[in-house]
Chains A and B, each alone.
Chain A
């Protein structure tokens, strides 16, 4: 029987546009774009030039600071262009994709026969090491270090999140192989956290891992919260984190010998006419997905990912590297609500009680709904931050960049995504995730 942990603090924002559990087909595009900015902290160096032929799994670029860290192409085709911005920073790599994906063959391998170094080398060589992240700093795991433990989250609790049960169905064997591979990489344990309501029995009975059930509102599915409840990160320790979907990608590498970066993606959001699931390769342009399927006539915000942590993309933007969700909400530009401070409008949603609570789902747009202020209201962040950490003092220490204090208050345990709900509820409308990101980056620079 799995150990069960109940999360009390948090918030499930009742949004319109929950993805229906229906598979609606495959989305492809001629042009596939890979954005190196998805891989935080990486300085990309190209391994291919424009005009070169690539297969799915061929390396497109590597990290300047870790030349072993390769980044695989999700599709096969011809590298069409490398678009650069200021200071020759690579904005995106454009690939003219083949109609059918041709995979580079890495050869099937049996994980049980491999050593830790072999597993590491296999994943790196295949260009999908980026799927493994680390705490502290919430960046791609440093392959030179050995993690204390590895944490895998088996569900997503964010607003309108895709159902892992639905996506993982049929991939259980790959998932198990992936977990076995991870178990080789740490002398400690591999933890798999599942939602207590999960109907996927294979997930519940996964082998070679410590399965823990989590119950409660978002951010119960955030791996940071799970770590904090299972075995918090101390100073000097490193742990690795993944989600179950990415573990299956790693498992597939060993089971089938290919890099398969096509994801089953949930299309969600209040402005989508028919929500559901699609199979989409990372980097695929999504304009055909939105064709005739979104509200017309008002400005919309397209997001790769969820409404809390996702990336704003254009209508013809691409599926980003880590995302299994696309969300479309109203942009809200040129909406001028009158006397908002006195409003009793049933369309306004607040987690607190300064607005009446209605039992309904809301259609929220991208407006900030206020001006930025100093932190005034207390106990606002704490209510949506289920960790043994004081978020407000930690944030203040980050703003002041007081390294000692940041360490003492638990900076090594957090990632920007853990603060997403704080940012949502914040009366002072501060860009909290950006503050945390900046703090982690500066600290990493200082420490490494």
Chain B
């Protein structure tokens, strides 16, 4: 490390003002502070500082995402080999998923961080770490077969129009990763839903090549790639009892498949187990608010109990455990709703914010005929309302203060 430190000291002057690479100052600084804690000492105010900084916070979020990411990769391979009818070992399965997802992560990072670096340089600020999380979230909430150029376009759109125009990390109103997904969802709906996009049938960089016939990948008979939520939304069955979830090759899915994550879906959302691990990390470190997570589920429970009571079709009858295990409900509650920037910022506000997310997500899920998932829209909607919720929570404090004055004045008059 000493060698690197020496080298950094040597090249540093080139990146300062007036140096030949001054246009890359922000980039240089980002990498330097990534490698070494800056040795700037305090000039005003407190003389000592807490060791937690923005980098630490984002690192914890990424750490919490790792279990879901790794399992998502494995599941991509698992679903792939299932539908091409080939047997594969654990490592082969995982590597197929890794190779399918890696290009997406790289594209999201290169495009998003490129824009972040450029705008930081333009604004003469340090590069904020927020996109390190968004960049990994974006591929995790998209179907595995999303073309790379779409990811690039959506990422660019989201980073520029949902974040940078508002002032960058910390000022955005909408969750950046969800905006990228929403952009694709409305711009290219055929690539974002349906039963063709969730399972990759092509080979990835030579791994998991299927048998080809006339240039079309061959799949096993009866293959359907619909997610379980997609299945129940489009089913002809008139009650939940007469309906059964199946995997891609038509075998029935058990609750434990859904819990561990052997179901079609985007990489992040499939394994409830991995999401729970992530939730554990976020809550223990205090990086994610347990209040938000819990209240999303409370909102969900209230909505599910209500629709179950008045159920008239299969999805309305679907019991609670399926709602929580399927689709993006858990993933959204743990990783999206807790984004501190776009969430309500007051503690009371978080209860309301989370509750409404859960409530609206289930409502959209159950009553929207075309689109079987409601988490994304529900969170984005509540993102827009979070400042309003906070406004009323803070306003209660203001009113209390006003009342104090009023009581005083009245007493004064009475005297």
Residues of chain A touching chain B, judged by Cβ–Cβ distance below 8 Å, are 13, 15, 159, 232, 234-236, 301, 303, 307-310, 312, 327, 329, 331-343, 348-355, 364-379, 382, 388-390, 392-393, 408-410, 416, 420, 423-429, 431-434
Contact = CB atoms under 8 A, between A and B. Distances in A.
Interface in B24-56: 33-56
B46 A365 contact: no
A373 B54 contact: yes
Contacts of B39: 332-336, 367
Interface stretch (B225-233, B281-289, B319-327): B281-289
Contact of B55 (A329, A340, A409, A423): A340
B119 interface: no
A433 B284 CA distance: 30
Nearest to A432: B45
A393 B49 CA distance: 22
A388 B397 contact: yes
Given A354-B60, A364-B48, A374-B171, A390 B394 contact: yes
Nearest to B48: A364
B404 A234 contact: yes
A308 B398 CA distance: 29
B40 A427 contact: no
Interface of B: 1, 5, 33-60, 126, 128, 130, 167-171, 284-287, 289, 340-341, 343, 345-347, 390, 394, 397-398, 400-402, 404-405, 408
Contacts of A390: 346, 394, 397
Contacts of B54: 370-371, 373, 376, 427-428
B47 A379 contact: no
Contacts of A388: 397, 400
Contact of B287 (A312, A354, A371, A374): A354
A425 B51 CA distance: 8
Nearest to B54: A373
B46 A433 contact: yes
B200 to A, nearest CB: 33
A375 B341 CA distance: 8
25 contacts: A234-B404, A235-B405, A301-B47, A335-B39, A336-B37, A338-B35, A352-B52, A353-B284, A355-B51, A367-B38, A367-B39, A369-B49, A370-B37, A370-B54, A371-B38, A373-B54, A373-B126, A373-B169, A376-B169, A376-B340, A409-B401, A423-B46, A431-B44, A433-B45, A433-B46
A52 to B, nearest CB: 35
B347 A365 contact: no
Contact of B46 (A334, A389, A420, A427): A420
B37 A423 contact: no
Given A310-B47, A365-B41, 20 more contacts: A309-B46, A329-B47, A329-B48, A332-B41, A334-B39, A335-B37, A338-B35, A341-B56, A350-B56, A353-B286, A355-B51, A366-B47, A367-B37, A368-B38, A369-B51, A371-B33, A373-B128, A376-B340, A424-B49, A427-B57
Given A329-B48, A376-B340, A410-B401, A371 B5 contact: no
A377 B47 CA distance: 21
Contact of A424 (B46, B57, B289, B341): B46
A339 B35 contact: yes
A377 B284 CA distance: 15
Contact of A307 (B33, B48, B130, B394): B48
Main secondary structure of the interface of A (DSSP, over half): loop
Contacts of B43: 431
A212 to B, nearest CB: 19
A410 B52 CA distance: 28
Contacts of B55: 340-341, 370
B85 to A, nearest CB: 43
A354 B285 contact: yes
Contact of B286 (A338, A354, A424, A432): A354
A269 to B, nearest CB: 10
Nearest to B346: A390
A107 to B, nearest CB: 39
A432 B289 CA distance: 24
Contacts of A434: 44-45
Contacts of A159: 48
Given A365-B41, A373-B128, A234 B408 contact: yes
Nearest to B398: A408
Nearest to B45: A433
B50 A372 contact: no
B288 to A, nearest CB: 11
A382 B340 CA distance: 14
A368 B41 contact: yes
Contacts of B37: 335-338, 340, 367, 369-370
Given A336-B37, A365-B41, A376-B341, A371 B53 contact: yes
B45 A423 contact: yes
Q: Which among B41, B43, B346 has the greatest number of chain A C-beta atoms within 10 A?
A: B41
A335 B40 CA distance: 9
Contact of B169 (A334, A349, A350, A374): A374
Q: Which among A340, A343, A353, A423 has the greatest number of chain B C-beta atoms within 10 A?
A: A340
Given A301-B41, A371-B38, A427-B54, A378 B60 contact: no
A350 B34 CA distance: 19
A297 to B, nearest CB: 17
B168 A374 contact: yes
